[in-house]
Amino acid sequence: MARWADQRVLVTGGAGFLGSAVCAQLRARGVGELVVPRSARYDLTQPEAVGKLFADASPDVVIHLAARVGGIGANLARPAELYVTNLLMGTYVIEEARRREVGKTVVVGTICSYPKHTPVPFSEDALWDGYPEETNAPYGIAKKALLVHAQANRAQYGQNVIYLLPTNLYGPGDNFDPEWSHVIPALIRRFTAAAEAGTSPVEVWGTGRATREFLFVDDAARGIVDAAERYDSPEPVNLGSGEEVSIADLAHRIAALCGYDGEIVFDPSKPDGQPRRRVDTTRAARYFGFRAQVPLEEGLARTVAWYREHRP
């Protein structure tokens, strides 16, 4: 790809959690022009709005990050909304990029697309070996359908679309909304409140035995921009840290960072989600030299500090 200084880059979702970090990476690398659309002006679930966005932006590169996401609770409450919104946004963005012959399109998928019982570490080749975990299957399948779309367009039209699969993201600027937050911001919010109010116990969904792999948002942003620079193949690529942690261990680490020393109660009547998550990062290291830099303990401390400073 040409130098970033020569590129006009459209980042859908660029004002969001991951998008803000990606835009910061692009600015640090001297991007020529950065276009960050807002949903109030461009509804990406409507093909006419996507067409207008591309006509206004005239991008050389598209990085598609816009998504409707949430934790287990949000996935259980709004499966149809998460499926349709993510499928339509990605479909219309990929098609408009093809129609306008955009030089490169980067589509970011989700770890939720992997089968429920994928062998650990998750290899990209195992992506189609079973059905995703039920609580987030609609979201995961909608995002996985975009991989099919990308590969089909490449085969038929020669469209340069790459597809990345980051693990669970976290970091400063995350969504701490009680209805939509993922596990790390949810636990930070609840342990901080309990520590300050002196209340105990704090309840955590599930058995605590499920595991997750978390990727600090700045590491994810660097991997996405590295891939945009140097990766041009049809195969999907994992982005991860290689560090697997149980929800129980995670909860105790976050409680300590938040100053909470009360009881933690796990509720096995609530779903665990996928039993284990850790990805094989060999492909990302081989093709564009990506390795995560921020260890979990450091990333959690930085996220807790940010929350204390910025919460309402």
Domain assignment present for 50: yes
pLDDT above 90 as % of the chain: 90
Model confidence at 188: pLDDT above 70: yes
User: Which pairs count as long-range contacts for 304-312, CB under 8 Å and 24+ apart, including other chains?
Assistant: 304/188, 304/192, 304/254, 304/257, 304/258, 305/172, 306/171, 306/172, 306/173, 307/176, 307/185, 307/188, 307/189, 307/192, 308/192, 310/172, 311/176, 311/189, 311/192
* The pLDDT of residue 271: 87
Average pLDDT over residues 182-188: 95
Per-chain mean pLDDT for the chain: 95
Range of the domain at 21: 4-174+213-242+276-293
Distance of alpha carbon 239 from alpha carbon 223, whole angstroms: 7
Each residue's pLDDT tens digit, 269-298: 998 988 999 999 999 999 999 999 999 999
Domain assignment present for 93: yes
* The pLDDT of residue 35: 98
pTM of the model: 0.95
- Tell me the residue length of the chain: 312
* The pLDDT of residue 178: 84
CA angle (66 as vertex; 61, 68 as ends), nearest 5:
165
Confidence of residue 141 (pLDDT cuts 50, 70, 90): very high
Positions marked active-site: 139
Confidence of residue 39 (pLDDT cuts 50, 70, 90): confident
Domain assignment present for 260: no
Domain assignment present for 54: yes
Domain assignment present for 83: yes
* The pLDDT of residue 1: 65
* The pLDDT of residue 2: 59
* The pLDDT of residue 288: 97
Distance of alpha carbon 274 from alpha carbon 283, whole angstroms: 23
Asked if residue 216 lies in contact with residue 187, where contact means CB atoms within 8 angstroms, the answer is no
* The pLDDT of residue 70: 75
Domain assignment present for 27: yes
Buried b (16+ CB within 10 A) or exposed e, 222-249: bbbbbbbbebeeeebbbbbbbbbbebbe
Comparing 1-5, 69-73, 193-197, 251-255, the range with the smallest average pLDDT is 69-73
Distance of alpha carbon 235 from alpha carbon 254, whole angstroms: 36
* The pLDDT of residue 202: 97
User: Which pairs count as long-range contacts for 297-300, CB under 8 Å and 24+ apart, including other chains?
Assistant: 297/253, 299/170, 299/171, 299/214, 299/216, 300/170, 300/184, 300/253, 300/254, 300/257
Distance of alpha carbon 14 from alpha carbon 4, whole angstroms: 17
Domain assignment present for 24: yes
Asked if residue 256 lies in contact with residue 99, where contact means CB atoms within 8 angstroms, the answer is no
CATH number where 231 lies: 3.40.50.720
Each residue's pLDDT tens digit, 53-74: 999 999 999 999 999 877 777 7
Furthest CA-CA distance within the chain: 61
Which pair of structure tokens corresponds to residue 42?
Answer: 């461009």
Distance of alpha carbon 211 from alpha carbon 48, whole angstroms: 42
Asked if residue 44 lies in contact with residue 55, where contact means CB atoms within 8 angstroms, the answer is no
Average pLDDT over residues 118-132: 97
Work out how many domains the chain is built from and give that number: 1
Each residue's pLDDT tens digit, 73-113: 777 888 999 999 999 999 999 999 999 999 999 999 999 99
Domain assignment present for 187: no
pLDDT above 70 as % of the chain: 99
* The pLDDT of residue 77: 86
Please report how many Cα atoms fall inside a 13 Å half-sphere around the Cα of residue 253, on the Cβ side.
18
